[in-house]
Amino acid sequence: MLALCCIALVMTAPVPVYASGDVSGVRFGQNGDTTRFVIELSGDTKPAIFLLADPYRIVIDLPEVNWRGGDAVRSTGLVEGYRHGLFTGGTYRIVLDLKSPAIVSNAFSLPATSGKGKRYVVDIKPSNRTEFIAAVASSKPQRSRYAAKVEKGPAVSNSRRKDGKHIIVLDPGHGGIDPGNLGAIGVHEKVITLKIARAIRDELNKSGRYEVHLTRDRDIFHKVRERFRIARRHNADLFISIHADSINNPRVKGGSVYNLSETASDKEAERLAARENKSDVLAGVNLDVVEDEVSGILIDLAQRETMNYSAQFAELLVAEMGGSVPMLDRAHRYANLGVLKAPDVPSVLLEVGYLTNLTNARFFNSKKGQALIAQSTRRAIDQYFSKIVGQGR
């Protein structure tokens, strides 16, 4: 009986993911033409290592670890830069961006010695494109060693809620291995977007009229498409992806709201879409798997209705935000943003402003700023359901 009971518990309870060890530091070294990358690890982990092309990257997956190393480590030699962070529940990922094609010539563990802990060493040597592409193919089986444990959202029934609450899914942009841009106050976009999403959630929950879900409520990465899939699994009535922009002019400030369009409304919108859509590349996602369940859907009637609702909500959000948050001129914009491609969930991407502007960045990082954004968003959502959806649907 006891055994049966435990099995049932294991199957139904959410499975918490525990870190399997610590990374206490990383370092780079150069010996002749070989670049050495060393990971100081507490456990007996054997990383999964694979290569991805265009751009040239080496991806190192570990089971979920606590990162205790600093971030001031400079890359050298063949490695232009690196990122690290939670990729999915259970997988901690390090991505090395290469200056030119280079392959792993050696990878091995070193036991702890007096004064030094366990280490994992990755040696990288210069190569050419042909050899690199062959290495991408031969390393492919490694891709799923840890990353197969993709964190799936909760199973949601297809029936709409019976209590009449509207379902809102908030999507804090970036996360985990994809930090987003770094602002004028030294706080990454992924941190700011999560704070704002939580503030909006709390504001909506206070009203009692909404059921609110976040695509992430911790520092974890989701693929662009997974974000709107979460909204679809929840049967969302509205999906809001939250971001904070960056530009190399620190004086530029102000928020904007984006809808999906195949063609961008202006050059800046086009550049923004290129930046935001790059998330999967930054995170070392294998892009050669085409998962285009919504291709060609833009001409579909359902999609047209969704886009119409999305545009009306964007107008309301621009108007309401404008009352308390500085907005750009022509703040309602269009761009080909991957995260807005749910065919049946009205969706907008809210750029709250520019993290590269000191005033904007301090505002987003303050409780007061987050509360003002949350209240404006709640007012826009209230109006959307009372005026637009209430009449049209």
Interface contacts to Zn ion, rule CB under 5 A: 173, 180, 243, 276
Closest-by-Cβ residue to Zn ion is 243
- Smallest distance from Zn ion to CB 174, Å: 6
Question: Based on CB atoms, which residue is closest to Zn ion, 149 or 198?
Answer: 198
- Smallest distance from Zn ion to CB 224, Å: 11
- 324-328, long-range: CB < 8 A, 24+ apart: 324/372, 324/373, 324/375, 324/376, 325/255, 325/352, 325/353, 325/363, 325/369, 325/372, 325/373, 325/376, 326/253, 326/254, 326/255, 326/353, 326/360, 327/254, 327/255, 327/256, 328/254, 328/255, 328/256
Question: Based on CB atoms, which residue is closest to Zn ion, 179 or 346?
Answer: 179
C-alpha count within 13 angstroms, C-beta hemisphere, residue 203 = 22
Question: Based on CB atoms, which residue is closest to Zn ion, 79 or 355?
Answer: 355
The answer to whether residues 269 and 335 touch, using CB atoms and an 8 Å cutoff, is yes
Report CA-CA distances (Å) from 364 to 29, 83, 215: 39, 24, 20
- Smallest distance from Zn ion to CB 185, Å: 16
Nearest to 131, CA basis, from 93, 95, 105, 96: 105
Alpha carbons 91 and 139: distance in angstroms, whole number: 18
Question: Based on CB atoms, which residue is closest to Zn ion, 63 or 173?
Answer: 173
- Smallest distance from Zn ion to CB 197, Å: 13
The answer to whether residues 138 and 103 touch, using CB atoms and an 8 Å cutoff, is no
- Smallest distance from Zn ion to CB 246, Å: 8
- Smallest distance from Zn ion to CB 222, Å: 13
Question: Based on CB atoms, which residue is closest to Zn ion, 201 or 243?
Answer: 243
Angle at 185 between CA 332 and CA 362, to 5 degrees: 55
Question: Based on CB atoms, which residue is closest to Zn ion, 123 or 270?
Answer: 270
The answer to whether residues 259 and 311 touch, using CB atoms and an 8 Å cutoff, is yes
Question: Based on CB atoms, which residue is closest to Zn ion, 171 or 203?
Answer: 171
- Smallest distance from Zn ion to CB 276, Å: 5
The C-alpha torsion from 181 through 86 and 241 to 262, rounded to 10°, is: 80
